[in-house]
Chain A
């Protein structure tokens, strides 16, 4: 369902790259649920709203030689945190903008975020649009408020990756993150060292010490 395939410009052995990813979107569309599914393979039907922002990491292997570590900022979608958002997307390499396919207004909000990212964030930022809660319309098709074709057309026009996902059933969650990883410029990511320079190591704060283990996230 990806609007655009991976560009996959890779070469060399045992590459390790680390990228900053930020999740944005209206409150309650399922940002935290998507992250928790991706990072811990968990889902909670009665999740309470995020307060502030949560920071998580997850490492995935794209192939035998290539490992990608995501440093993920899961933000709270509420208005009052709006002014803090730049702090999270400022140095992000990639962003997932989430809406809820059963809530028409949530796509409008998502479009605003995309606009803001395209104006203010890193100019090479890779943005994926995720229409979440796919499971709800599988069970009850009349619950759908946003047609796949409409969202897909918008995504293509705006140059975004696009998936319809379900954090509940896991559908397309891994695919979403993997396809982002594949689009990231791994060729510049350097050797297997998490904090080596290059685009891969962009930090919220560039001087963050590089003393962390680079093993896969054990969460």
Chain B
């Protein structure tokens, strides 16, 4: 079950060999291996199977059992967390039903999905969804396409569908092995035609066939005009609203609108009413609605106590993925209000308008939503990314935090552009990736905190830590591009353009009066880091950015990859540039990753290796108890080149493991 045997034989062999040994290990779905696997960013308390007895397996982002020696052998227990919901409020044990799809693609296929955190749930999806998702490998479109369009793309359809549509039954070792065998997966005529061209075509470069599904993506994040009854722009506004590929709606069970990513109140009120009626109908029948499909649009519903969450997507994510996104929005609401407050508000007045208590946090919900719509590796993998620095350098930074630590400190973090640099924490407490996702969103995606221009003192509930109360977070930013000779050492941030070069010092305490103490610690930390050279190392690493695939594996045809270390609940990836710098290219890539991820995480899929060929890319998903790996190359790359690249990257990660991941963080 270890890392692939690195021999000098052809890469294809290595991979195949590994496939075999892996399947023999028979780890199913998301294997519970070690202690880290079960952690997810967003679905660790999945709306889906929110049971009181759900196993709590918080994982410190900074922790590992693999290499850290004995000290970290056992993860410290987390303080007991109260259940999120009272028994009575829970949706049925497992999602038993779904509304009948409204389209022709209507046969229903009951599936049990295994979530990344190890929880399982049954629900049904239109059987044809699997197929249409397979198709979307080639076109990176939303899940459902019309049959006529499918036919027009037989070339890519054959390859992808032959793997994907039977994914649930692919069990035997033989099948897995043959995935990479020329026999089963023979290349389509289109493929052969393409291979006669240059090898260096990048993924998604050839978009010869019609693919309008993402044509509006560049405008996805544009504001919708306000309804103006005088000028009668209703139709225009409505068409703008409908052209959005992704919507998130939050409403109360009484039907009060709480949040909508797009469109103002006047515009969405009608829809909220309809949605509320539909959901309530099923609630009333004790048969909660989980999702339905209309045309090429997937609706996923999630109920959390008094709140209804709806994701409406044309981007083709799986239900589990959409549900995880809704869960994150719920966590954001808890983070603002705490669970007792939320419960109290609705117990006292079921008709509560939650917009007022949430005032000012719409931007946090929207930046989370947009992160999902743009496509976030971190959210998809439920894992964190670290800034790559030497182990000894990280050690020095950890020690600096430990040495300057004040009494009042609970967690201390240094984060650079959403990548973790260092964490210190008490032995007894871990940090939950889902909580860090909320914090990173607040600091690096939403502008609110940075725009404050000073130091910040933010009450925040971290639901993974404790959903019943607030912690207080001291935050100050430094820019990697500013020189450190600033006398007060507290440079402005408004001038810094990119979130990637923001370095944040986060000091979290349970004491709301400890601002000045933490501020002093921050001053000490920064002074020390500057003195011992660490600050320059951090800034240099930030300025350098992520390496490209060819920096990692010279000459490789891989254009991008994601590698998640299960035990560390961390992932690493190369830079999105040059091939995926644009919003659209990145979305196409992320859609591909979402599809690979969904296929390898579906319960009945025992897929350990999935190889996909389409007109615009070839890609590979490879899961073992140690890692999840996804990579993509241009359509003309050979499978051998893909597999070789994959093996090389995995060797690289193994070599660099203690630099790309935080292994065994600092505790006090």
Contacts and interface: CB of A to CB of B under 8 A. Distances in A.
Interface stretch (B11-19, B81-89, B483-491, B561-569): B483-491
B454 A56 contact: yes
Contacts of B512: 84, 87
Contacts of B515: 55, 204-205
Contacts of B453: 35-36, 39-40, 42, 54, 56, 219
Contacts of B455: 54-56
B507 interface: no
B456 interface: yes
A36 B458 CA distance: 18
A204 B336 contact: no
A215 interface: yes
Contact of B490 (A42, A44, A219): A219
A217 B456 contact: no
A204 B442 CA distance: 26
A130 B513 CA distance: 28
Interface in B329-358: 336-337, 356-357
Contacts of B451: 32, 44, 47-48
A31 to B, nearest CB: 11
A207 to B, nearest CB: 9
A80 B336 contact: yes
A213 B527 CA distance: 13
A13 interface: no
A79 interface: yes
Contacts of B447: 48
A49 B360 contact: yes
A32 B447 CA distance: 13
A166 B442 CA distance: 28
B361 interface: yes
B137 interface: no
A50 B449 CA distance: 7
A32 B452 contact: yes
A187 interface: no
Interface string B428-468: 00000000000000100011110111111111100000000
A154 interface: no
A41 to B, nearest CB: 11
B452 A204 contact: no
Contacts of A79: 356-357, 359
Interface of A: 27, 32, 35-36, 39-40, 42, 44, 47-57, 72, 74, 76, 78-81, 84, 87, 203-205, 208-209, 211-213, 215, 217-219
Interface of B: 336-337, 356-357, 359-361, 363-364, 442, 446-449, 451-460, 473, 486-488, 490-492, 494, 512-513, 515-517, 519-520, 523
11 contacts: A32-B452, A44-B494, A51-B458, A52-B459, A54-B454, A55-B455, A55-B456, A56-B455, A208-B516, A212-B523, A215-B487
